[in-house]
Amino acid sequence: MEMREGTRVTVSGGYDFEPTWLAGREGVAGAVLKWIPGRNEERACVVLLDEPLTATGDVRGGREERTGSHIVLALRYAGQVWEEEATVHIELCESEPVNAAWSSREAGAWVESHATYRMS
């Protein structure tokens, strides 16, 4: 199955047994909205969540709380490709990220480095 705009995804888990970014939930769900330039060779995936999420994460070196309905999934490992399920970084954005590289757009909060997404 190819991951394209409109594909449903569930994102869960993390580095900790009970990841704080999920605030007690098992996961969050949404649909792929678009693809934007990633921090590496592979594109990053923007997901529009079914419900807004509030979490605290790193924003350009400082810790900040963000609430938003958009998350950016960024592949975790060198050489990794987009497939049905994989480990990703999660960036929580207060609004829809523009189609620009991370260094050239408003930064969201990096809330998790070891989440798992699954196409559904």
59-85 pLDDT per residue, tens: 999 999 999 999 999 999 988 999 999
List of residues 6+ apart from 29 with CB closer than 8 A? 8, 9, 10, 11, 49, 50, 120
Where do runs of H (alpha helix) occur along the chain? none
Cα–Cα dist 34/60, whole Å? 23
In the prediction, which pLDDT does 56 show? 97
pLDDT surpassing 70 at residue 1: no
In the prediction, which pLDDT does 113 show? 95
pLDDT tier, 116 (very low <50, low <70, confident <90, very high otherwise)? very high
pTM (predicted TM-score): 0.94
pLDDT surpassing 80 at residue 40: no
